[in-house]
Amino acid sequence: MTTEPERVRADKRAAQIARCIEADIVRRGWPVGESLGSESQLQQEFRVSRSVLREAVRLVEHHQVARMRRGPNGGLLVCAPDAGPATRAVVIYLEYLGTTLTDLLNARLVLEPLAAELAADHIDESGIQRLRAVLRAEQQWRPGLPAPPDDFHIALAEQSKNPVLQLFIDVLMRLTRRYARMSRTDSADQAVEAAHQMRGDHADIVAAVTSGDSARAKTLSERHVEGVTSWLQRHRAPAGRAQAGRRARTDLVAPRGKLAEVLAANIADDIAADGWQVGSVFGTEAALLARYRVSRAALREAVRLLEYHAVARMRRGPGGGLIVAKPQAQASIDTIALYLQYRQPSREDLRSVRDAIEIHNVAEVVARRSEPGVVAFLDPRSWTHLADGGDVRRAAVDEFRFHVGLAELAGNAVLDLFLRIIVELFRRHWSSTGQAQLAWTDVTAVEHAHLRILEAIESGDDSLARYRIRRHLDAAASWWL
């Protein structure tokens, strides 16, 4: 009989092998359809038992990175993943954090106008038809009918041709739908009026995008998100009703495929609906089998997926059961970064989203400059290392620490996580391309830029702080890319 420590070691080994397989696929350039080897070959390569290898393959299949095909000419075949597991991991983590309506809407205000601007720059005939089809579906909607099948904001983000922006806006819209369900309208007439206003805004944005007027598309998008913000805040449900809405299943689309993946999605939804009580027993194995009406094998595979994403863990013995865990940001970051590596965003894709977030962050930190955490961050002694004898590696770490620190101080959990994902993509780019060592003149320039940004923040000069962070991001592009 396998003991608990043995099972934990096997699970950790399987997770390590899964990460090795995924890294190998990225190094190979994601050759969809290519075989990475048969089961026996992979066993020999990683020197593990069949059970450990199969567990690793399950995790790889969950990320839709590769799938095992049995029989002649079989093996572990590289797949083209969809965004489902990536967006799901991020939404689960943000659900756990208890993302506020203010954070969500501010994130939309930062990213959606950028999507509209880029869409106007990149729109083509097929994109125009796609957006107009969404408008037609919206025109046919009436209260009481299911929501239109295509979401306008996601369709617009697709036309930006920026895969990072598309994925982030997908996450934002899933969270927005949650808040929309918890909102209230005083009458059916109000619902019709809101829908009419929404359709009008969308039509105006599409007209600006179609004509290639990027400035107007951006401005109209900003006004639209501000209108949505005002409506949601006016119609926010009372506290009791909001709590009831939270206990409804969250709007997370269950991944297609095996029963265990769908089951893991449903259990995660229900943990979130129960308020994410970390450390509590969500249910014994017997209770979960009865509740979800599945086989023991399917439940145990679902639990392994939940453990992999730090959603919950199974504890055996008396008083045991599925224990609600504290999700880790890194699990979400790794999952979404892996998917974006498949999409292969360009340097400009990463830069445009990063710049929008960072310029917003620095303005928010200016507004919070008197808070103790910001005051400590502004201390120049924390950022002066020129006397360290030329420690270039420390300077590189400080560059990322500076930007992530600003994101934390800005106080928007959504944008903080998004920036960390972008930083992770840059880190993976560095490790995979053998980035050249930085020169000491680079270190001097970056440190000087940090200090000047901090000076502008401390003095409360919002416009100067924005200017300096923008100049710094342009100058430090070679560090990041």
Domains contained in the chain, CATH given: 3-80 (1.10.10.10), 84-235 (1.20.120.530), 256-329 (1.10.10.10), 346-479 (1.20.120.530)
* Residue in the block written with tokens 């829908």: 195
Give the whole-angstrom CA distance, residue 201 versus residue 222. 11
* Residue in the block written with tokens 């600006």: 208
Give the whole-angstrom CA distance, residue 250 versus residue 91. 10
**pLDDT confidence of residue 255:** 43
Tell me the per-residue pLDDT of 261-279, one tens digit each, with 9 for 90 and over: 889 888 988 998 888 999 9
> Which percentage of the chain shows pLDDT scores above 90?
53
**pLDDT confidence of residue 177:** 81
Residue 327: C-alpha distances to residues 150, 311, 441 (Å): 31, 5, 40
Going by pLDDT thresholds of 50, 70 and 90, the confidence category of residue 385 is low
Mean residue pLDDT of the chain comes to 85
More confident residue, 385 or 75: 75
Tell me the per-residue pLDDT of 9-54, one tens digit each, with 9 for 90 and over: 666 889 899 999 999 999 999 999 999 999 999 999 999 999 999 9
- pLDDT of 280 over the 60 cut: yes
**pLDDT confidence of residue 371:** 96
Give the whole-angstrom CA distance, residue 376 versus residue 394. 20
Kindly write down the DSSP assignment for every residue of 123-160, as one continuous string.
--HHHHHHHHHHHHHHHT--TTSPPPSS-HHHHHHHHT
Tell me what percent of the chain is helix, strand and coil, each rounded to the nearest 5.
Answer: 70, 5, 25
- pLDDT of 96 over the 60 cut: yes
Give the whole-angstrom CA distance, residue 338 versus residue 22. 8
**pLDDT confidence of residue 438:** 65
**pLDDT confidence of residue 248:** 38
pTM recorded for the entire structure: 0.86
What value does the mean pLDDT take over residues 429-456?
A: 78
What value does the mean pLDDT take over residues 372-376?
A: 95
Here the tokens at position 339 are: 């998917």
More confident residue, 210 or 274: 210
Nearest Cα to Cα of residue 475 among 336, 353, 355: 355
Residue 189: C-alpha distances to residues 29, 130, 135 (Å): 54, 30, 21
**pLDDT confidence of residue 399:** 83
Give the whole-angstrom CA distance, residue 93 versus residue 87. 10
Most confident of 101-115, 326-340, 376-390, 392-406: 101-115
Nearest Cα to Cα of residue 206 among 266, 288, 305, 139: 139
More confident residue, 56 or 187: 56
Q: Do 175 and 186 form a contact (C-beta atoms < 8 A)? A: no
**CA Rg, the chain, in Å?**
24
Residue 468: C-alpha distances to residues 96, 349, 350, 397, 459 (Å): 35, 21, 19, 20, 13
**Strands 75-78, 312-315: parallel, antiparallel or unpaired by DSSP?**
unpaired
- pLDDT of 213 over the 60 cut: yes
Here the tokens at position 64 are: 């839709």
- pLDDT of 218 over the 80 cut: yes
What value does the mean pLDDT take over residues 379-403?
A: 72
Q: Do 90 and 45 form a contact (C-beta atoms < 8 A)? A: no
- pLDDT of 447 over the 90 cut: no
- pLDDT of 246 over the 60 cut: no
Tell me the per-residue pLDDT of 407-417, one tens digit each, with 9 for 90 and over: 999 999 999 99
Going by pLDDT thresholds of 50, 70 and 90, the confidence category of residue 245 is very low
- pLDDT of 3 over the 50 cut: yes
What value does the mean pLDDT take over residues 58-78?
A: 88
Residue 459: C-alpha distances to residues 352, 358, 370, 375, 452 (Å): 27, 19, 10, 12, 11
More confident residue, 279 or 3: 279
What value does the mean pLDDT take over residues 189-196?
A: 68
**pLDDT confidence of residue 162:** 97
